[in-house]
Amino acid sequence: MTFDTISRRRLLQGTAALGLGAALPIGGARAAATTIGFIYVGSRDDYGYNQAHAAGAAALKKMAGIKVVEEEKVPETDAVEKTMESMINLDGATLLFPTSFGYYNPHVLKMAAKYPKLRFEHCGGLWTDKDPKNAGSYFGYIDEAQHVAGVIAGHMTKSGKLGFVAAKPIPQVLRNINAWTLGAKLANPKVTTQVIFTGDWSMPVKEAEATNSLIDQGVDVITCHVDGPKTVVENAARRGAMVTGYHVNQAVLAPKAYLTGAEWNWEVLYPRFVKMFTAGETIPNFYRGGLKEEIVKVSPYGAAVPEAARKQADGVKAKLTAGSYVIFKGPVTDNKGGIAIASGVSRGQTDPELEKMNYLVEGVVGATS
Amino acid sequence: MAGAGDIGLWTIPVAVLGGAVRVSTPFLFVSLGECITERSGRINLGLEGTLVMGAMAGYGISYLTGSPWLGVLAAGITGMGMGALHAGICGLPRVNDIAVGIGLMLFGVGLAFYLGKPLIEPTAPRLPSIDLGWWTDIPQLRAALRINALFLIGVALAPILLWALRTTRWGLIVRTAGESADAALAMGYSVNLIRLRATMFGGFLAGIGGSFLSLYYPGSWNEGLSSGQGITAVALVIFARWNPMLCLGASILFGGAAALGPALQSVGFSHGYHLFNAAPYILTLLIMIATCSPKRTLIGAPAELSITR
Amino acid sequence: MSANHLRLPPFGPKFGGAAEYIVIPALALFSSLVLFGIFVASFGKNPLDLYFYMYQGAFGTWFSWQNTLTRAAPLILTALCTALPAQLGMVIIGGEGALLIGALAATGAALVLPSAPPLLVDVAMALAGMAGGGLWIMLSGALRHYRGVNETISSLLLVYIALAILNFLVEGPMRDPASLNKPSTYSVGAANMIGSIPGTEVHWGLVYGLVAAVLSYILIYHTVFGFAARVAGGNIRAAKVVGLSVGRLILIICFLAGAAAGLAGMMEVAAVQGRANANLAAGYGFAGILVAFLARQNPLAVIPVAILLGGINASGGLLQRRLDLPDASVLVLQGVIFVMVLASDTLYGRWSIFKGRAS
């Protein structure tokens, strides 16, 4: 592309003119290594979503011939398009991981169409065959890990009331709430899960307030789906409630209260993708996986978790890992009394219907809008 | 089920009470400090930056020294420094205080995020709470009455500041500077010096308000910590008509309203939760519409204050 | 006295003193860069690298220029939302709310005209966006005039209320059920999307911003209406004495101010996002306040200031990637520049070199 070459030539001229050429990796970057760009919507050390991806990027840095460039706190506007282009034009990135959900449509799609020779791997999107072939979307069935954590939560609750602090009522979140609740019901069929939506992905004061409100209601085990679970975990622990974590392992924040948690395992997936990429193979455009594919994992159980709970949770985990277990298996009733999944229908993890989830299962207190 | 702990819909008022206590403290400190600053005739919109700087500094010092109260002190001193910066620049002739405040808001937030990067992960010692609910068996009420000393200090500070403004010599000097710079000059006082001290005092309190966020509630340092509490608190001062006692009332009202959304959801009422989350803002606006009047200028407004004219 | 603080004389009629208006901000900018260089050097980074990458990321290549201008485009419009009411001595800080309401209204206009020709849809979107944003800020103006409610607070509160309305509508009544994990309205339609300025990748919002800034300048400094506004801004009582309708001035100016921010919101929908969702709240409205104050509320000065700010934002990524500086470096630098430029206000009229020419 002419634009591309012109800009690089100008850049080199500028570099030489200022006599700083030696200090700059520009130009050399492309020849020496494969450059991979990572873009985060929040802070890399948030004990949550972004940190999980940064851990995956860190795993790539250990690979030979791989150079990783990272940019954090990039909003989901045309700023992310410019960041991608900047990584392409100025750093020579050939593989990009824009990791926030909101980047996909329209921004990643636009850039993928503009740079057809480069590869764009997006976390969470739903790639369809109408989208550019050089774009792909991957995600993990973290609801499997949530389901296992739910089993533990169901065992541990004394009040029978569980709490879930969530950002927004969207399918990925609802699926986690439902999987966690269904897991808890395996241990204790009478449990209820109280949901509070905070309205956005990072709102520490609201998350703390939601946690306190839940505990006031008698909730004694809490989990969450927000970008940085630190606030929820610490505030719940301070009030004596137990927690199951999310995104990464938060045990160090609340060693006694932390029972287990649902974690991403991008450190396994990203090197796998990059090996395919450098070997010239095509990364699948639509990639999903769970415990079996090691894309998600369950945190080690906390000391407070008794043997019976561990045993049941491990049993569920083993069946999920073997692929012989379906979480969303009919009949499933929603919390308005309707049929969510009819009797006899078994929605396996790859079922696209699950990606459109718009209900809360029976036992969850809360509404989807 | 949780027998004794189940108090049904009573949770809502209890949660609102608890929220009012938990959420209001930063608003209270920032607004009390700004109240004094504005009474001296200057507005410091940079308190959002001061609050965030205080949150970062307090957390950092608590982490490094192991003492959260040293953190609070460090937050106050940091805030004082930010206040001195604002007052120093605004003391130059022809410099606009509102604009400098906006600049310092950006600077403070940026500097706090910059210096605070390594503090996001570590866990610092937090401030302890005082159990004022020992007399009740209801766990929710007990939790709501588990209060941090800073809240009590803030509550005590409000009447003290009101008294000091009204009756002490110091209060008279501050008010004179705010009502008429010429009169203060005639009395032989340096208006700039009075405003410098008033702004530093305001910064000190705002810094402490920030340390409450990072060291007590929600109780950790991260970049989303302040969702505009500092700037909102400055607005509350005007809402409270430059009266410290009304600042206290406004802060508690605002904190309680902020707890309403989560409390309603916790009893299963979640439809339109975004609108309930906006309750503090809607409520403040409605009260202002109801209580303001076009006929008179704002009662209690310092005449020298640029924002009220 | 304060209202005069907010404004400085226009550039045009006083060209004699123009040197002062270039030399002093340039000095302030230069010293900010030196200060920031020292700050960064104290963390062990080479300040020369810093300056090089900043230049490179903001203005060093054609790509960088486009990056800068793209980021500057919405800021010109949102800055007008603060700069116009400042002529009346009003401090409006709610441009973000007007942007969101404008974006919602523009989206609504496109959705009720599903089969109209694109040009018509775009005009309808622009009008709806401007009307929505305009009425939103006019509400602050009306509350101020009829109820005596301080416009600074009311416009700030209205930002949070606008955000709640946006989220409520986008996740509720206006939600496209197919927008699964990113609740959004229906798309305004690919045919209705406004493209880029020919030969560039910068969307048309930049041109709208430039036109709006120039028109605002003419309105304020070269029309009777603008003159009346400036009189009222200087002294409300004097304005009433000479028979100006202050209420009418407030309402019209506030409407125009909100319309500018609403147009920025419409452009974010029609040129960037393609639909309304929570991503619209990207802080352009708040950045606009800074631009307006740094430009000393002069609608023409808003243009270079917005480009400067866009350039700093554009270079932030390169600073993160090459120098491993935190993303907040950009905020620190902006803060230093703003404070220095504002503090330099005190230098005007003090230097005898300029005095002879200025008078």
What is the rounded CA–CA span in Å between residue B103 and residue B49? 9
Residue C59: exposed, middle, or buried by beta-carbon count in 10 A (0-12, 13-18, 19+)? middle
Q: Name chain A contacts of C193, Cβ cutoff 8 Å.
A: none
Q: Return the CATH number at A157.
A: 3.40.50.2300
Angle made by CA atoms B166, B247, B289, in degrees to the nearest 5: 115
Helix (H, G, I), strand (E, B) or coil at A312: helix
What is the rounded CA–CA span in Å between residue A317 and residue A324? 10
Helix (H) or strand (E) holding A63: none
Report the 10 Å Cβ neighbour count for A249: 18
Helix (H) or strand (E) holding A271: helix A266-278
Q: How high is the pLDDT of residue B295?
A: 66
Residue B44's pLDDT band (boundaries 50, 70, 90)? very high
Q: Name chain A contacts of B265, Cβ cutoff 8 Å.
A: 195-197, 210, 213, 366
Written as six digits, the tokens of C354 are 């300029």
Written as six digits, the tokens of B152 are 């009590």
Q: Quick check: A19 pLDDT over 70?
A: no
Helix (H) or strand (E) holding A297: strand A296-298
Chain position carrying tokens 């020849």: A31
Written as six digits, the tokens of B91 are 């003391």
Q: Which residues pair with A166 in a beta bridge?
A: A197, A225
Q: Which of B71, B83, B72 is nearest to B36 (CA)?
A: B83
Q: How high is the pLDDT of residue C20?
A: 80
Q: How high is the pLDDT of residue A30?
A: 42
Q: Name chain B contacts of C285, Cβ cutoff 8 Å.
A: none
Residue C351's pLDDT band (boundaries 50, 70, 90)? low
Q: Quick check: A23 pLDDT over 50?
A: no
What is the rounded CA–CA span in Å between residue C288 and residue B48? 17
What is the rounded CA–CA span in Å between residue C215 and residue A35? 46
Do residues C101 and C265 touch, judged by C-beta distance below 8 A?
yes
Q: What is the average pLDDT across B154-183?
A: 94
Q: Is C279 on the interface with A (CB under 8 A)?
A: yes
Q: Name chain B contacts of A365, Cβ cutoff 8 Å.
A: 268
Question: Are A131 and A88 in the same domain?
Answer: yes
Written as six digits, the tokens of A312 are 């049941």
Q: Is A174 on the interface with B (CB under 8 A)?
A: no
Q: Which of B62, B272, B248 is nearest to B156 (CA)?
A: B248
Question: Are A198 and A223 in the same domain?
Answer: yes
Q: What is the average pLDDT across A112-135?
A: 93
Report the largest interatomic distance among the alpha carbons of chain B, rounded to a whole angstrom: 72
Q: Name chain B contacts of C1, Cβ cutoff 8 Å.
A: 306
Question: Are A235 and A302 in the same domain?
Answer: yes
Q: Name chain A contacts of B273, Cβ cutoff 8 Å.
A: 197, 199
Question: Are A126 and A244 in the same domain?
Answer: no
Q: How high is the pLDDT of residue C242?
A: 78
Q: For A312-321, what is each residue's pLDDT tens digit? A: 999 999 999 9
- Amino acid identity, position C73: A
Question: Are A21 and A147 in the same domain?
Answer: no
Do residues B233 and B101 touch, judged by C-beta distance below 8 A?
no
Residue B130's pLDDT band (boundaries 50, 70, 90)? confident
Q: Quick check: B171 pLDDT over 90?
A: yes
Chain position carrying tokens 């402490």: B208
Q: Quick check: C187 pLDDT over 80?
A: yes
Mean of all residue pLDDT scores within chain A: 89
Q: Which of B12, B18, B4 is nearest to B145 (CA)?
A: B18
| Contact: A203, B224; criterion CB under 8 Å | yes
Q: What is the average pLDDT across B141-145?
A: 80
| Contact: C279, A77; criterion CB under 8 Å | yes
What is the least distance, in Å, from the CA of C116 to any CA of chain B? 33
User: B interface mutation test: which of C36, C294, C338 has the most B CBs within 10 A?
Assistant: C338
| Contact: A45, B258; criterion CB under 8 Å | no
Indicate the pairing of strand A119-123 with strand A93-98: parallel
A96 Cβ contact partners less than 8 Å away, ≥ 6 residues apart: A36, A37, A38, A39, A84, A87, A88, A111, A118, A119, A120, A121
What is the rounded CA–CA span in Å between residue B233 and residue B222? 20
Q: Which of C19, C154, C22 is nearest to B298 (CA)?
A: C154
Q: Name chain B contacts of A195, Cβ cutoff 8 Å.
A: 265, 270
Helix (H, G, I), strand (E, B) or coil at A99: coil
Question: Are A93 and A191 in the same domain?
Answer: no
Main-chain dihedrals φ then ψ at residue A202, nearest 5 degrees: -140, 95
Q: Quick check: B268 pLDDT over 80?
A: no
Percent of residues, chain C, with pLDDT higher than 90:
74
Q: How high is the pLDDT of residue B307?
A: 62
Indicate the pairing of strand A221-225 with strand A192-197: unpaired
Complex ipTM more than 0.95, yes or no: no
Q: Name chain A contacts of C313, Cβ cutoff 8 Å.
A: 79
Do residues A285 and A133 touch, judged by C-beta distance below 8 A?
yes
| Contact: C63, A86; criterion CB under 8 Å | yes
Question: Are A158 and A108 in the same domain?
Answer: no
Q: Is the peptide bond before B302 cis (omega within 30 degrees of 0)?
A: no
Q: Quick check: B308 pLDDT over 80?
A: no
What is the rounded CA–CA span in Å between residue A143 and residue B98? 50
Architecture of domain C2-358: Orthogonal Bundle (1.10)
Helix (H, G, I), strand (E, B) or coil at A345: coil
Q: What is the pTM of this model?
A: 0.90
Mean of all residue pLDDT scores within chain B: 89
SS3 readout for chain B: CCHHHCCHHHHHHHHHHHHHHHHHHHHHHHHHHHHHHHHCCCCCCCHHHHHHHHHHHHHHHHHHHCCHHHHHHHHHHHHHHHHHHHHHHHCCCCCCHHHHHHHHHHHHHHHHHHHHHHHCCCCCCCCCEEECCCCCCCHHHHHHCEEEHHHHHHHHHHHHHHHHHHHCHHHHHHHHHHHCHHHHHHCCCCHHHHHHHHHHHHHHHHHHHHHHHHHCCCCCCCCCCCCCHHHHHHHHHHHCCCCHHHHHHHHHHHHHHHHHHHHHHHCCCCCCHHHHHCHHHHHHHHHHHHHCCCCCCCCCCCCCCCCCC
What is the least distance, in Å, from the CA of A325 to any CA of chain C? 26
Q: Which residues pair with C33 in a beta bridge?
A: none
Q: What per-residue string of b and e applies to B208-240 under the rule 16 or more CB within 10 Å gives b?
A: bbbbbbbbbbbbbbbbbbbeebbbbbbbbbbbb
| Contact: B238, C153; criterion CB under 8 Å | yes
| Contact: C156, B232; criterion CB under 8 Å | yes
Q: What is the average pLDDT across B127-156?
A: 86
Residue A26's pLDDT band (boundaries 50, 70, 90)? very low
Task: Map out the domains of chain C as residue ranges.
Answer: 2-358
Domain holding A119, by residue range, is: 2-140+266-289
Q: Quick check: C5 pLDDT over 70?
A: no
Q: What is the average pLDDT across B16-25?
A: 88
Q: Which residues pair with B33 in a beta bridge?
A: none
Residue C180's pLDDT band (boundaries 50, 70, 90)? confident
Question: Are A236 and A359 in the same domain?
Answer: yes
Percent of residues, chain B, with pLDDT higher than 90:
56
Q: Quick check: C212 pLDDT over 70?
A: yes
Q: Is A209 on the interface with B (CB under 8 A)?
A: yes
How many angstroms separate the Cα of C34 from the Cα of each of B41, B108, B160, C48?
33, 19, 45, 10
- A210: nearest CA in chain B? B262
What is the rounded CA–CA span in Å between residue C344 and residue C20? 11
Overall domain count for chain A:
2
Q: Quick check: A143 pLDDT over 70?
A: yes
| Contact: B103, C293; criterion CB under 8 Å | yes
Q: What is the average pLDDT across B281-293?
A: 87
What is the rounded CA–CA span in Å between residue A76 and residue A39? 11
Residue A113's pLDDT band (boundaries 50, 70, 90)? very high
| Contact: B224, A47; criterion CB under 8 Å | no
Lowest mean pLDDT among A74-78, A96-100, A150-154, B231-235: B231-235
- Amino acid identity, position A11: L
Residue A12's pLDDT band (boundaries 50, 70, 90)? very low
Q: Quick check: C35 pLDDT over 50?
A: yes
Q: Name chain C contacts of A85, Cβ cutoff 8 Å.
A: 63, 67
Helix (H, G, I), strand (E, B) or coil at C201: coil
| Contact: C335, B102; criterion CB under 8 Å | no
Q: How high is the pLDDT of residue C185?
A: 95
Q: Quick check: C356 pLDDT over 50?
A: no
Q: Which of B155, B161, B194, B158 is nearest to B178 (CA)?
A: B194
Which of B213, B218, B266 lies nearest to residue A217, judging by beta carbons?
B266
| Contact: C343, B298; criterion CB under 8 Å | no
- Amino acid identity, position C22: I
How many angstroms separate the Cα of C313 from the Cα of each of A225, C51, C318, C328?
30, 14, 10, 10
Residue C22's pLDDT band (boundaries 50, 70, 90)? confident
| Contact: B278, C289; criterion CB under 8 Å | no
| Contact: A101, C181; criterion CB under 8 Å | yes
| Contact: B96, C345; criterion CB under 8 Å | yes
Q: How high is the pLDDT of residue A367?
A: 86
Lowest mean pLDDT among A11-20, A192-201, A222-231, A281-290: A11-20
Helix (H) or strand (E) holding A298: strand A296-298
Which of A214, A218, A234 lies nearest to residue B219, judging by beta carbons?
A234
What is the least distance, in Å, from the CA of A43 to any CA of chain C? 9
How many angstroms separate the Cα of C8 from the Cα of each of B60, C47, C234?
42, 34, 12
How many angstroms separate the Cα of C325 from the Cα of each of A283, B222, C48?
32, 17, 14
Q: How high is the pLDDT of residue A22?
A: 36
Indicate the pairing of strand A161-166 with strand A332-333: unpaired
Report the largest interatomic distance among the alpha carbons of chain A, rounded to a whole angstrom: 73
Q: Report A:347-366 residues touching B (Cβ under 8 A).
A: 365-366
Alpha helices in chain C (DSSP H): 2-6, 18-41, 47-55, 62-86, 95-112, 118-147, 151-171, 205-222, 224-234, 236-241, 246-267, 284-294, 302-323, 329-343, 352-358
R_g of chain B, CA atoms, integer Å: 20
| Contact: B106, C333; criterion CB under 8 Å | no
Question: Are A360 and A270 in the same domain?
Answer: no
What is the least distance, in Å, from the CA of C311 to any CA of chain B? 17
Q: How high is the pLDDT of residue C10?
A: 46
Q: For B85-128, what is each residue's pLDDT tens digit? A: 999 999 998 888 888 998 999 999 999 999 999 998 888 999 99
What is the rounded CA–CA span in Å between residue A276 and residue C260? 49
